[in-house]
Structure 1
């Protein structure tokens, strides 16, 4: 039962041979397992009594995209074949309908949206091959340029497998207004690799995302969502390539994943509650960001966020909160715990006066109320001389800030780091580089 144990570890949160999302050297999206071994795995899993794995092989009904006309040669366009397979699975009155993307194939897919609701209470996407986006922005002419793949209004969706989602984003990066403002037809909007909108009680497991034109995974308007064991890779200089962006979502867990990219490792938007981020490795990019929030002057409602056991390598921020002065509402009950920073700029930062426009933003008396934010058990090295930088609002100061057992030193030999706090009130204990918070003078932290 060795193969069974390995595969069970893989799909339930572990990795085969310690290598997450293992792919072969040919880049064809296969797992590196031989065909014979894979057949053995199928047989063993069919004999398994595990209810969690039952969908995978025992009672599932497969809707193979090749049966609907898909050709995995990397050149033939397959969006209609994928859509037909989805529609058939979505309408099927069977247990565990599964859209199946076979291994050792590269499926070119133009922008496509998979809509629900489906007839059953669950539907699966088993991806063992590679799905690739068009490499030219012209493929989006007349279409929604903000997305490549999307699933909407679907309950009980599970996306899993050994597969690769390749956004082929370089052509978009080369015409980005962020890095190429001199271009006459530069673009500010580019496709997210995969959007999940209104997908309740759903999950993504063990998929590798590479080179998205913009954000790799977007979760919006969902209640109950799991992202586990994903790998996300794009160059450190690729513009706006957030690893995972979350918006208007509740009960979300992101865990056991590695993200290397050119923007936020994970970005947390508005209307978020009950979010846990754990065991994430962020490399390059901008770290884990709550925000930016309140840009349009809207009422912000974000609460109950835990970020724990995360490692940051060479990122431009670590644990970051950023809000605009124009915003209103609240951000509360946020815990950053057991973090490791390796050569990170701004390891711990709050910017309540965030401004990302040309020219200075006007001074306002409004702001998002930030309260009950804690930082505990954080260690590592800072690439900036200010390792803790809490820049809170004069009009709406930060309250209930707690810093405990934090030790940050300089990544630059012979230098010492400092802490800087403005309008930040709370308590602190056992901190290197030293204290900086204002003493809490009134009890208004439980808003």
Structure 2
């Protein structure tokens, strides 16, 4: 009987041990090419000085910017880089070489395919390599919590002559149909843009200033398309052939602590471009490039931009909107606690004649200007050629606030320029604590206004006597402005 009890006890102990072993094994995901599971996911390196204007980003999606009382607590934002997941797919384990010359595309696609199929999977680009891949679409849907972590250098082929003929020349990295995905790391995404910038086609100027008619099909570096609940944080992104980062048809985007850079004269190299995208937060980032540091296209709403340093660049732009008589809708955009320096424009809204729709609920607050042309500009006559003609319809601009905008401007242009449509006035423009002085030279005290209505809550420097009080007597059919 005693032996019988001992045998039963031994069976129970063995059963418990087997179950525990099974649970441990179930937490790991092995691939036949994988060499090691010792890699750790680390949060992006970022050590701001005490003077840096650090803003604590909210969890996505960010609040509606018009809610100025929102004050996120430090616990509102969790750092995806602190994940301790065991599902790490190092691209070297899939055959990536990382010498900057070999094509590592196949390894990246294989690693993505595996990571996509598990919860909190991580595609890891290790810090000890430079990885070249060709134009690739990383598509979903995938399991939630997917992380694409770049700790080394990731780059496309070097210029148009090296670009595979079978690949799209309009985009390089595309993330498509994803939900709850993070792009992060301590590394660099290098665009190898110089040879694209030298193409002798518009808007590029080739060697010796030569230019040929027709657009250039230079690739955007990173594109998120039809995706939601996205986080992009910590990376250095530089020298894109065209736009550095685009978001099309997305919802719930959090961008935090990015460095985006390209030369001042690099053409069409917008830093961050969003269109048809809602609930966006852009925080604590430094952007210097050859075009808009942030551009906001049609279909965008609830966009919150804070603690961004912009320049050299073409400033922060809404538009262009309404091209080819199209309808454009933009609402609830906030830019605050930002620095714009050495830029061709500051805060810009640009629309084409002949468009429809509206731009409404725009709030610019606590902006420091340093040597900026066209600090505050509304241009409803935007045109890229001499062939544009006057049209009666326009995108309706209303409810725009400029509050505590101070600094210096380049005297080659008036610091304030509100050129609104002949037939559709701009309304409800609010000016408060706007003080702009010349960076060098003599004070330019003649801001330009055309068909612009609004209120001055405080005296403006320079004085803006051309802003009309009240509202225009009539507007065109309201249906043109419905969004």
User: What is the TM-score when the length of structure 2 is the normalising length?
Assistant: 0.80
Q: Which residue of 2 aligns with 1:213?
A: 241
Provide the rounded CA distance (Å) in 1 between the counterparts of 2:274 and 2:470: 32
Match of 2:471 among 429, 441, 445: 441
Give the deviation of 1:362 after TM superposition. 0.7
> Following superposition of structure 1 onto structure 2, how do residues 285-304 of structure 1 map, counting pairs within 5 Å?
285-304=313-332
Answer yes or no: is 1:169 the counterpart of 2:197: no
Change (3 A) 1:335 1:60: farther
Provide the rounded CA distance (Å) in 1 between the counterparts of 2:449 and 2:202: 34
Query: What secondary structure, in the 3-state scheme, does the structure 1 residue paired with 2:323 have?
Result: coil
Q: Point out the structure with max Rg over C-alpha.
A: 2
Provide the rounded CA distance (Å) in 2 between the counterparts of 1:76 and 1:295: 42
> Following superposition of structure 1 onto structure 2, how do residues 185-264 of structure 1 map, counting pairs within 5 Å?
188-264=216-292
Query: What secondary structure, in the 3-state scheme, does the structure 2 residue paired with 1:438 have?
Result: coil
Give the deviation of 1:111 after TM superposition. 0.9
| Runs of 5+ consecutive residues of structure 1 not aligned to the other structure | 1-6, 20-49
The answer as to whether partners of 1:382 and 1:417 remain within 8 angstroms in 2 is no
Provide the rounded CA distance (Å) in 2 between the counterparts of 1:417 and 1:133: 48
Provide the rounded CA distance (Å) in 1 between the counterparts of 2:345 and 2:211: 29
The answer as to whether partners of 2:81 and 2:184 remain within 8 angstroms in 1 is no
Provide the rounded CA distance (Å) in 1 between the counterparts of 2:80 and 2:263: 38
Answer yes or no: is 1:179 the counterpart of 2:210: no
Provide the rounded CA distance (Å) in 1 between the counterparts of 2:291 and 2:80: 38
Query: What secondary structure, in the 3-state scheme, does the structure 1 residue paired with 2:115 have?
Result: helix
Q: Which residue of 2 aligns with 1:44?
A: none
The answer as to whether partners of 1:409 and 1:417 remain within 8 angstroms in 2 is no
The answer as to whether partners of 1:180 and 1:186 remain within 8 angstroms in 2 is no
Give the deviation of 1:416 after TM superposition. 3.3
Provide the rounded CA distance (Å) in 1 between the counterparts of 2:78 and 2:360: 35
Provide the rounded CA distance (Å) in 2 between the counterparts of 1:360 and 1:183: 19
> Following superposition of structure 1 onto structure 2, how do residues 253-332 of structure 1 map, counting pairs within 5 Å?
253-332=281-360
Change (3 A) 1:292 1:187: closer
Give the deviation of 1:15 after TM superposition. 2.3
The answer as to whether partners of 2:427 and 2:471 remain within 8 angstroms in 1 is no
Count of matched residue pairs: 405
Give the deviation of 1:186 after TM superposition. 7.4
Provide the rounded CA distance (Å) in 2 between the counterparts of 1:52 and 1:229: 14
Change (3 A) 1:52 1:338: closer
> Following superposition of structure 1 onto structure 2, how do residues 115-194 of structure 1 map, counting pairs within 5 Å?
115-118=139-142, 120-138=143-161, 139-175=163-199, 176-180=201-205, 182=210, 188-194=216-222
Change (3 A) 1:54 1:343: closer
Query: What secondary structure, in the 3-state scheme, does the structure 2 residue paired with 1:82 have?
Result: helix
Of the structure 1 ranges 406-415 and 250-259, higher mean CA displacement relative to structure 2 is found in 406-415
CA RMSD after TM alignment: 2.4
Provide the rounded CA distance (Å) in 2 between the counterparts of 1:335 and 1:63: 43
Provide the rounded CA distance (Å) in 1 between the counterparts of 2:134 and 2:382: 37
Query: What secondary structure, in the 3-state scheme, does the structure 2 residue paired with 1:284 have?
Result: coil
User: What is the TM-score when the length of structure 1 is the normalising length?
Assistant: 0.86
Change (3 A) 1:221 1:423: same
Of the structure 1 ranges 187-196 and 414-423, higher mean CA displacement relative to structure 2 is found in 414-423
Q: Which residue of 2 aligns with 1:3?
A: none
Residues 38-89 of structure 1 deviation map (CA, whole Å, 9 limit, x = unaligned): xxxxxxxxxxxx9945774423410111111111111111111111111111
The answer as to whether partners of 2:445 and 2:463 remain within 8 angstroms in 1 is no
Change (3 A) 1:411 1:185: closer
* Greater strand share, structure number: 1
Higher relative CO (CA 8 A, sep ≥ 6), structure 1 or 2? 2
Query: What secondary structure, in the 3-state scheme, does the structure 1 residue paired with 2:92 have?
Result: helix
The answer as to whether partners of 1:89 and 1:123 remain within 8 angstroms in 2 is yes
Give the deviation of 1:381 after TM superposition. 0.7
Answer yes or no: is 1:373 the counterpart of 2:396: no
Match of 1:76 among 88, 102, 110: 102
Query: What secondary structure, in the 3-state scheme, does the structure 2 residue paired with 1:83 have?
Result: helix
Query: What secondary structure, in the 3-state scheme, does the structure 1 residue paired with 2:457 have?
Result: strand
Match of 1:89 among 89, 110, 115: 115
Of the structure 1 ranges 376-385 and 231-240, higher mean CA displacement relative to structure 2 is found in 376-385
Q: Which residue of 1 aligns with 2:375?
A: 347
Provide the rounded CA distance (Å) in 2 between the counterparts of 1:342 and 1:417: 18
Change (3 A) 1:414 1:136: closer
The answer as to whether partners of 1:282 and 1:311 remain within 8 angstroms in 2 is yes
